[in-house]
């Protein structure tokens, strides 16, 4: 719930926002996209599945590279194998990684509209120390150093996949990913909210309750709902919610909160005839990525809902080419295309 009522409320302006820095909307023009090459055998003990995952990451990177520059982060010793799968258009940087989730571990770029750009440092800690992150915890700082950009501390631990922003001063998030001791011990929701608003240069916040402890992210918002413009939201919901599924219950709570804001909301149904049948598979049409001239989205093998999702994205993002990919290995890992990418906005 957002504040006491689930609505949207202005809050005080933070110091960084006063300096004019903010995170632009994802659909604003990008300089490039950053991604991470998955490498850790502790995270991926099955070599066969690791190779499948790498091919999926490469498919996403190669698709985005048709629209804008892509930089893949990988230690030098991992680059030979990566190069075999990646398009020549994808640049490789010698920055060590463990896993692929650049939305969470990668840099959050902020601009001031006057030609300056910086990195707003939300410290990644392995989703509350649930996974090794020796390298991934340093990616944001390493990228900032490579680019010669200032790193602005936010006082937050967490992941950018846990907050959605519209580029017009509004954020939404689930409390379960932020107001939790494994990320931000001792901080109240109001304190977390103030720091998030300052980090993103935003003024208003919508909170949903979310769901703790059921997945590694504690229910990131970007697999459920996305801003598609000022006052517009696209949300991915089960066609027949189960009263016994805690994710369904939490999703419907968030939908009710969004309805209270008066925004234009469109619902995309989740697939029912998907290729992967496992219970914990994440089949999120909302976890897409907007790049220069294109939208890279998932298809799950359900002809009806795949078409509904593509049609919705075409309406919400006119004049962009909609590319749909089989990203099933990411769904098996609990994520999607948006989770694997991080945009660097144009200055």
Q: State the catalytic residues.
A: 339
3-state secondary structure of 162: helix
Residue 247 host element (H or E) = helix 246-260
319, with CB counted inside 10 A (0-12, 13-18, 19+), is: exposed
Q: For residue 32, what are the β-bridge partners?
A: 344
Alpha carbon of residue 19 to chain centroid: 25
d(CA 321, CA 340): 20
Residue length of the chain: 347
Q: Are 42 and 132 in contact (CB under 8 A)?
A: yes
Residue among 197, 198, 211 nearest 252 (CA): 211
Q: How far apart are CA 329 and CA 279, in angstroms?
A: 14
- Name the pairing type of β-strands 204-208 and 117-123: unpaired
Q: At residue 296, what are phi and psi to the nearest 5 degrees?
A: -105, 115
Q: Other C-beta atoms within 10 Å of 34: how many?
A: 24
HSE-CB of 301 using CA atoms within 13 angstroms: 11
- What is the number of other CB atoms lying within 10 angstroms of the CB of residue 6? 19
């Amino acid at each position: 719930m957002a504040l006491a009522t689930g609505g949207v409320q202005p809050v005080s302006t933070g110091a960084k926002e006063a300096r004019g820095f903010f995170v632009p909307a994802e659909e604003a023009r990008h300089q490039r996209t950053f991604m991470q090459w998955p490498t850790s055998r502790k995270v991926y003990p099955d070599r066969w599945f690791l190779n499948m995952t790498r091919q999926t990451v490469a498919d996403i990177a190669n698709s985005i590279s048709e629209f804008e520059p892509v930089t893949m982060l990988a230690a030098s010793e991992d680059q030979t194998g990566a190069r075999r799968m990646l398009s020549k258009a994808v640049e490789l940087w010698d920055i060590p990684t463990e896993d692929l989730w650049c939305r969470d571990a990668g840099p959050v770029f902020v601009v001031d509209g006057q030609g300056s750009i910086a990195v707003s440092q939300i410290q990644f800690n392995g989703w509350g120390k649930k996974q090794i992150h020796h390298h991934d915890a340093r990616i944001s700082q390493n990228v900032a150093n490579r680019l010669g950009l200032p790193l602005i501390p936010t006082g937050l631990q967490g992941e950018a996949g846990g907050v959605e922003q519209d580029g017009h001063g509004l954020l939404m998030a689930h409390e379960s990913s932020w107001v939790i001791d494994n990320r931000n011990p001792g901080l109240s929701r109001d304190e977390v909210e103030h720091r998030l608003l300052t980090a993103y240069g935003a003024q208003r916040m919508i909170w949903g309750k979310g769901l703790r402890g059921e997945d590694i992210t504690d229910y990131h918002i970007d697999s459920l709902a996305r801003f598609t413009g000022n006052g517009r939201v696209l949300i991915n919901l089960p066609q027949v919610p189960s009263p016994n599924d805690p994710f369904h219950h939490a999703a419907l709570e968030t939908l009710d909160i969004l309805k209270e804001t008066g925004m234009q909301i469109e619902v995309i149904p989740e697939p029912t005839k998907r290729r992967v049948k496992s219970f914990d598979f994440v089949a999120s049409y909302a976890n897409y990525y907007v790049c220069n001239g294109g939208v890279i989205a998932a298809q799950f093998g359900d002809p009806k809902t795949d078409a509904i999702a593509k049609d919705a994205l075409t309406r919400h993002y006119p004049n962009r080419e909609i590319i749909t990919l089989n990203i099933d290995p990411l769904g098996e890992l609990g994520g999607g295309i948006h989770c694997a990418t991080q945009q660097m906005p144009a200055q």
